[in-house]
Amino acid sequence: MEDYRIAVVDRDRCKPDKCSQECYKYCPVVRTGGEAVIIDKKAVISEELCVGCGICVKKCPFSALWIVGLPHELEGREVHRYGQNGFVLYNLPIPRKGHVVGLLGPNGTGKTTAVKILSGQLKPNLGKESAEWDEIFERFAGTELLDYLKNLVDGIRTSVKPQYIEAIPKIYKGKARDLLEKVDETGQMDEVVEKLDLKNSIDREIKNLSGGELQRLAIAGALLRDADFYFLDEVTSYLDIYQRTSVAKFIREKAEKKPVLIVEHDIAILDMLADYIHITYGEPSVYGVVTNPKGVRVGINQYLKGYLPDENIRIREKPIEFEVFQPRETELENVVLEYPSFKKTLDGFTLRAEKGEIKSSEVLGVVGPNATGKSTFVKIIAGVLEDDDKKIEFKLKTSYKPQYIKADSEITVKSFLTSINPLITSSYYKTEFLKPLRIEELMDRSLTDLSGGELQRVAVIACLMREADIYLLDEPSAHLDVEQRTEVARIIRRFALNSKKSVFVVDHDIYLIDMISDRLIVFEGNPGKEGKSSKPLSMKDGMNRFLSNLGITFRRDEETKRPRVNKLDSRLDREQKAKGEYYYYF
């Protein structure tokens, strides 16, 4: 029964100087500017007087106000609230010694706030202006968290790997070696560098490192500290599947001695890595709830279904579903382009590509290690680069979303998208693109004010809105949560079918590749030196080839049909490898 009401104001969106303040005019319990309560001239809602009519919510032109009804059981369980009417978090995950605990949920539902509290960066206020530690201990009396919080106050050491590693070059200058030597408290730097494959990066300037190198550097830095608890916020962004697997193995080794809590959106890696998971749910930027711990398989399946039976809560209208049989080649249109085999030498790197064809209305998944020529391949097909023998003479127009996105303009999202396609605000584009990815609520914000996930969603839409023959999206899943990745996959597939265009998707999230692809192009080789691309293969043949190179096997979950990574050297793993069936053996 929803009888516990909270009011939330997004202070970044509330702009009283740019609107007529109709929220105040129409509702007597809202105060702005010089009225009654003044908090930086932003709106303030009296929760004691609010009846939940929703008028202020409808009148706000910037979608800055929410009135939310919550189950009465949550009242009094607030852990932290960001000021009056601000985002509120309920409950906390529980770090467990000797285990990896995963935290899974939509962006904006408090995962990073939970990490900040548990790592000692943020003192919980129990939903009030402030709270003393005695009050906090009383709140958590009789729970597993009480001892942890007392130890936190007594000075246990924590180490945190931040979510956004793009800020590292702005904070640290010099070489990667200098940074690791500075934070190394375990004397294991050489071993960590070897296991995370940082040998070729260690003596380079941090400002010149790629996203994948920065990610592994951040992980190394966090795990080299001599801490009692380790908190790792999104460890897979910018890493290829090979690097993700090696990172997962290394974290598991660390967890045998010290507890680890990991925030992650790559469910395949979370499935492989975690022993328990907590799910977060709620309304992004409004409130978030952390569930009790669950077994990994049970928890992930409940999350995908969108219903949590223990809590009796539906967190999503529709389940995230996986199709058992792919590809649907009978649905594909005619071949629109055939290309010969070719070679390209570039700055000491050589790419060799097998001949192949591209069909209309299809999505080609592109998988393989980083630095094996995936982007070079597409640029040659598009005519941006020439192959060595100048065999490729197609003059195709390409729309390209790069792997690394940086906002260097302060124009609004609306102005940016309108400059690409003036029809972006039409009902069709709103329904097909803006609403599913919640772009409408970002339209009045500056590009430079967007988070990594928000910028990613805008970049995906921008890529698809350009007029082109071939569309390439390089890592569209980076910084997106599971729901957002699912919507991106759905939008891209519908776009390819409706526009009869060809779309290349380079990504390292196996779940997204499985949901989105009709066929696969598999890249192999020695990263940075040589690469070889296969012709477009069926999903079964392509994934078998890709996973055999990786040395891991997948099976379908019997309940949700999602991909699951078999434990290395398990009975199923050995059986599938013996049969050469690395992909969905039954």
Q: What is the pLDDT of residues 332-386, one digit of tens each?
A: 458 888 889 999 998 889 999 999 998 888 999 999 888 888 878 878 887 778 8
Q: For residue 406, give the amino acid letter.
A: K
Helix (H) / strand (E) containing 101: strand 100-104
Q: Report the pLDDT averaged over residues 144-165.
A: 91
pLDDT at 401 over 80: yes
Q: Helix or strand or coil: residue 113?
A: helix
Mean model confidence pLDDT for the chain: 87
Name the pLDDT band for 586 (thresholds 50, 70, 90). low
pLDDT of residue 217: 94
pTM (whole model) above 0.85: no
pLDDT value, residue 90: 95
Give the pLDDT band (50/70/90) at residue 323: low
Q: What is the C-alpha radius of gyration for the chain, rounded to an integer number of angstroms?
A: 25
Percentage of residues in the chain having pLDDT higher than 70: 96
Contact, 358 vs 364, CB < 8 A?
A: yes
Is residue 296 over pLDDT 80? yes
First-to-last alpha carbon distance for the chain, in angstroms, is 43
Residues 92-111, mean pLDDT to the nearest whole number = 92
Mean pLDDT, range 204-231, rounded to an integer: 91
- Lowest-pLDDT range of 74-78, 86-90, 128-132: 74-78
Q: Residue 333 is encoded by which pair of tokens?
A: 């249109």
Closest CA to 222 of 285, 266, 275, 157: 157
Structural domains in the chain, sorted by start: 2-73 (3.30.70.20), 78-305 (3.40.50.300), 333-537 (3.40.50.300), 551-586 (no CATH)
Would you state the structure tokens that stand for residue 4, as one six-digit string? 């516990």
For tokens 């891209």, what's the residue? 492
Model confidence at 36: pLDDT above 80: no
Tell me: the pLDDT tens digits for 373-397?
887 887 888 777 889 998 887 777 8
CA proximity to 446, closest of 417, 412, 477: 412
pLDDT in tens, 466-510: 999 889 898 898 888 888 998 999 999 999 989 999 999 998 888
Can you give the pLDDT at residue 88? 94
Predicted pLDDT at 273: 87
Question: Which helix (H) or strand (E) element contains residue 565?
Answer: strand 563-565
The whole-number pLDDT of residue 327 equals 46
What are the E-state strand segments in 116-177? Answer: 158-161
Higher-pLDDT residue of 405 and 299 is: 299
Residue type, 454: E
- pLDDT of 326 reads 46
Pairing of strands 349-353, 530-533: parallel
Alpha-carbon distance of 456 to 480, in angstroms, equals 8
Supply the pLDDT for residue 33: 53
